[in-house]
Structure 1
């Protein structure tokens, strides 16, 4: 009989648990109903705040308020539901428990909290907004969503990039669509023998005739570099709106028309060239051999006579025909 006492004790405890659960069942049902009601109220408040702040000037602030209000209402609903199920429960007990473990939670979720605070600051300060086109490090695309943890952008080739808000908030971000107008520019190289004024005239005519290039501010054509093979003229013009697709379409039309007009006018568009000078294959008229030339140090004393180009060609021909064997025999 003594062996039955533990079984009886366990059975009695199980019966008490079932009885207690049955007694709490109405409270549990009421708590679920109450929490569900708070959840729907939270969703409605978020949707209402977003609808009231649809304007671009307050859209990000509306996202912040909507998310904060939803979280706050759900938190209150959780407290109320717990108080219904456990009448002795007090919100202060939970706050005290969170205070005890707050340091450990802070270290464990430091990055999450940092991204959350950065997301709130981004939504409030609005360095960029939804549908803005931004450049962050090697990523470029359109902002699709600004969450409290990360910002999601869609690249121009159809990929999704998720960037933590802490990185966006502490690093430089280029916003291409921050203003209504955007200036485009492209350097065009013409030959040194071409007429610069004529090239500028053609460039400005093309920019003035392009329907997407704004006339206020007016287009410009400026000489910016005397390069090794070209004189570089920078064509600059403004577009509106400043989105990526508009910039690419306008640049395509402008550069195609510029190439056709400059070539038709006889203006050269040279490619880079290099000239190699051999030190001992120069003409007598090239200058004083005692002076530094082509990067070679100045010679003192006996200066060799400059080799004639004609003689050099003959020597090269002889070397190619049999000079190699001579060098072999001498060695």
Structure 2
């Protein structure tokens, strides 16, 4: 028992001596690591300053990559200082094997990283653009290494992987300086189409929230069940969501007021429902116009518009 205790004490003392002997190396490694950290910050700032003036977000991404690479190198140097038996060759061989394993383990992260770089290089959209991706719509706030951050119009944050943005469909609503909006307005079949178009065009010409060049236009697009549909089209500048809603609010309000002021109807869908024995004289004789009833006069229901009592040809009817 005493022998075992002595062996344990000797091992503890040996470990203590090794730790004390390694303290200078640890202190040197910490200083070296601090130097690499300062160098990484300086490199990041330099890359962002050089690239940022030309490429914006691409400079920030490359700055992060440069900073991460320098810090990784600093950690490796610090390890070789603390553990002299570890050589650079063994570190690089370890990194080679570990790199393959990390590549398989973090394949999605690497794909998103590459997609983020390609997005920043090709620039299909930029920070501040308003885009639509699947069911998400909002303003691009940041393009990071792994994902892109979107702020919706309801002040919600949506994180979208870069691979989805690079390979999928993205609608950029602020890609151009102007944007066209449209809305369908229905008028009655008895109304003068030319007069309605002139009223709408004159109304749009006096609005300040829409562009007059290109000029607004009104087109007939449909002869619907209850109305003749006119498509009102106009342009806005700038093409942001708020400007689109403000202009649409003004256009619809002024167009409705102008059409009603000129006696032009704005009909709504109507339906006429008749029972099988309910009709008007102009609808025809139910004895001949059966509409799904069995053949034969005696089985046809008597229209309600007729005077009570047997009618012509109904002598045999009960």
Task: Give the alignment's TM-score, normalised by structure 1.
Answer: 0.82
Instruction: Tell me how far apart the structure 2 counterparts of residues 138 and 168 of structure 1 sit (CA, whole Å).
Output: 13
> Per the alignment, do residues 50 and 240 of structure 1 end up closer, same or farther by CA in structure 2, a change over 3 Å counting?
farther
Indicate whether 1:150 and 2:144 are aligned: no
Which residues in structure 2 correspond to 1:121-270 (within 5 Å)?
A: 121-270=118-267
Instruction: Tell me how far apart the structure 1 counterparts of residues 73 and 289 of structure 2 sit (CA, whole Å).
Output: 87
Following superposition, the deviation at residue 98 of structure 1 comes to: 3.9
Q: What is the DSSP-based 3-state SS (H/G/I as helix, E as strand, rest coil) of the residue aligned with 1:311?
A: coil
1:318 equivalent in structure 2: none
Indicate whether 1:79 and 2:76 are aligned: yes
Instruction: Tell me how far apart the structure 1 counterparts of residues 262 and 29 of structure 2 sit (CA, whole Å).
Output: 84
Q: What is the DSSP-based 3-state SS (H/G/I as helix, E as strand, rest coil) of the residue aligned with 1:65?
A: helix
Q: Does the Cα contact within 8 Å between 1:132 and 1:143 map onto a contact in 2?
A: yes
CA displacement, residues 304-329 of structure 1 (integer Å, 9 cap, x when unaligned):
889545238x79xxxxxxxxxxxxxx
> Per the alignment, do residues 206 and 94 of structure 1 end up closer, same or farther by CA in structure 2, a change over 3 Å counting?
farther
Structure 1 gap ranges (5+)? 316-331
1:47 equivalent in structure 2: 45
CA displacement, residues 26-81 of structure 1 (integer Å, 9 cap, x when unaligned):
221221222122223222322333333445x6123213311221121112212222
Matched positions, count: 309
2:306 equivalent in structure 1: 311
Following superposition, the deviation at residue 186 of structure 1 comes to: 0.9
> Per the alignment, do residues 62 and 183 of structure 1 end up closer, same or farther by CA in structure 2, a change over 3 Å counting?
same
Task: Give the alignment's TM-score, normalised by structure 2.
Answer: 0.85
Instruction: Tell me how far apart the structure 2 counterparts of residues 77 and 27 of structure 1 sit (CA, whole Å).
Output: 14
Following superposition, the deviation at residue 183 of structure 1 comes to: 0.9
Q: What is the DSSP-based 3-state SS (H/G/I as helix, E as strand, rest coil) of the residue aligned with 1:212?
A: coil
Higher mean Cα deviation, 4-13 or 75-84? 4-13
Q: What is the DSSP-based 3-state SS (H/G/I as helix, E as strand, rest coil) of the residue aligned with 2:56?
A: helix
Structure 2 gap ranges (5+)? 310-318
Indicate whether 1:113 and 2:110 are aligned: yes
Instruction: Tell me how far apart the structure 2 counterparts of residues 86 and 5 of structure 1 sit (CA, whole Å).
Output: 32
> Per the alignment, do residues 229 and 82 of structure 1 end up closer, same or farther by CA in structure 2, a change over 3 Å counting?
same
Find 1:96's aligned residue among 90, 93, 96. Answer: 93
Find 1:27's aligned residue among 22, 25, 28. Answer: 25
Q: What is the DSSP-based 3-state SS (H/G/I as helix, E as strand, rest coil) of the residue aligned with 1:48?
A: helix
Following superposition, the deviation at residue 300 of structure 1 comes to: 7.3
Q: Does the Cα contact within 8 Å between 2:137 and 2:152 map onto a contact in 1?
A: yes
Instruction: Tell me how far apart the structure 1 counterparts of residues 216 and 58 of structure 2 sit (CA, whole Å).
Output: 38
Q: What is the DSSP-based 3-state SS (H/G/I as helix, E as strand, rest coil) of the residue aligned with 1:223?
A: strand
Q: Does the Cα contact within 8 Å between 1:187 and 1:232 map onto a contact in 2?
A: yes
Q: Does the Cα contact within 8 Å between 2:278 and 2:304 map onto a contact in 1?
A: yes
